[in-house]
Amino acid sequence: MIRFLHIEYLYALVFLPVMIALFWAFGRARARARSRFGQDAILERMAEQASRTKRNVKFILLLCSTALLLVALAQPQIGTRLEEVKQEGVDIFIALDVSLSMKAEDIKPNRLEKAKFEIRNLVGRLAGDRLGLVVFAGEAYTQFPLTTDYSAANMFLDVVDVDVAPVPGTSIGAAIQRAVESFDLKETTTKVLVIISDGEETEGDAFESAADAAKQGVLIYTIGLGSPAGAPIPVYDASGRQTDFKRDREGNVVVTKLDEPGLEKIATIGNGKYFRGTNAQDELDEIYKNINSLQKREFGVKQFTDYEERYQFFLFPAILLLIAELLLTENKVAWLTKWNPLRKPGEVEA
């Protein structure tokens, strides 16, 4: 397999026919000028040492060296060498709460955006660890599976909002179960689940799910976003203007509160730690420091094709041709002129 690192230089090859046309046109113009100046036979005797053949050869050498230099500048590469890279790290699943309560603004700009900001920072620090994302509200969904393609992870994270999980509610238990199912439990890698939520469990049994996950070797960390005092959930129109706060059926403003005790208990059951989310601190950074202290194990072998540079195969011949063109004069070679079997008796070489 061959590729060019700077293919744009190959476009300049279209000028080679232009060089040929110009060389031919200048030769014709020189011949016409010579015929106007005097008789061809007399002019040839006056410049009997000049060789038209060698002039053509010099041009061909220049043309070939130019073509080879352009190909060398394009940096041809051949992918023939396969390498195996062993990767070490831990498997990290993040379970992100996308219920409507995550739109509360007791953490700026709101709970959900704060969580996404921290996840992006975490992605930027990962090196060899596999990352996956589960989003949940009333039900849980895998946004992307475990991967080391961090650019793709950021793309999937960008589109996360409260509408990606259509079932309302908050089911931390479902999120834990979904993450555990997404781990390859046969692998011996360290498995970590980070739950980011305000902790208002309205569906399922999170404690039972956390206990089942712990039995299968999954460490659970939790990050609580929000305030125990609670905050209303703003409602915005299509133009981004706040029109009201979310209200219940009786017309009362809904206040969403952080359930710290519940999140702390989940982390304890999962043999992990609980972190309280704030505007200033990066809680995922603290968790990642904890994760890095864990024993990292080899989880796979990544095989890829490495491209080797081949520009030298074109550069060296180009340099040799240029040197030959510079050293070659336009004078005739006396012994070659005498030896030339194609020359007729009494004919002077052109």
pLDDT tens-place string over residues 110-140: 999 999 999 999 998 887 789 999 999 999 9
**Number of other residues whose CB lies within 10 A of the CB of residue 95:** 23
φ/ψ (deg, to 5) at 87: -110, 140
Distance of CA 281 to the CA centre of its chain: 29
The whole-number pLDDT of residue 105 equals 93
φ/ψ (deg, to 5) at 40: -60, -40
CATH 3.40.50.410 residue ranges of the chain are 87-302
pLDDT tens-place string over residues 219-244: 999 999 999 999 999 999 988 899 99
User: Band of the pLDDT at 203, cuts 50, 70, 90?
Assistant: low
Q: Could you tell me the fold of the domain covering 87-302?
A: Rossmann fold (3.40.50)
Q: Is the pLDDT of residue 331 over 90?
A: no
pLDDT tens-place string over residues 6-24: 888 888 999 899 989 988 8
User: Band of the pLDDT at 269, cuts 50, 70, 90?
Assistant: very high
Residue 124 CB contacts under 8 Å (≥ 6 apart), including other chains: 150
Query: Contact, 78 vs 312, CB < 8 A?
Result: no
pLDDT tens-place string over residues 337-346: 555 554 545 4
φ/ψ (deg, to 5) at 311: -65, -30
Q: Is the pLDDT of residue 45 over 70?
A: no
The whole-number pLDDT of residue 102 equals 94
For tokens 């040492």, what's the residue? 49
CA 259/CA 155 separation, integer angstroms: 30
Going by the DSSP 8-state scheme, the letter that residue 216 receives in this structure is T
Query: Contact, 277 vs 200, CB < 8 A?
Result: no
CA dist list (Å): 158 to 21, 97, 104 = 56, 15, 19
The whole-number pLDDT of residue 266 equals 95
| Nearest alpha carbon to residue 197 among 340, 279, 53, 100 | 100
Please state whether beta strands 76-89 and 297-309 pair in parallel, antiparallel, or not at all (unpaired). Answer: antiparallel
| Nearest alpha carbon to residue 213 among 265, 238, 177 | 177
Choice among 5-19, 95-109, 130-144, 300-314 with the minimum mean pLDDT: 300-314
261 preceded by a cis bond (ω within 30 of 0):
no
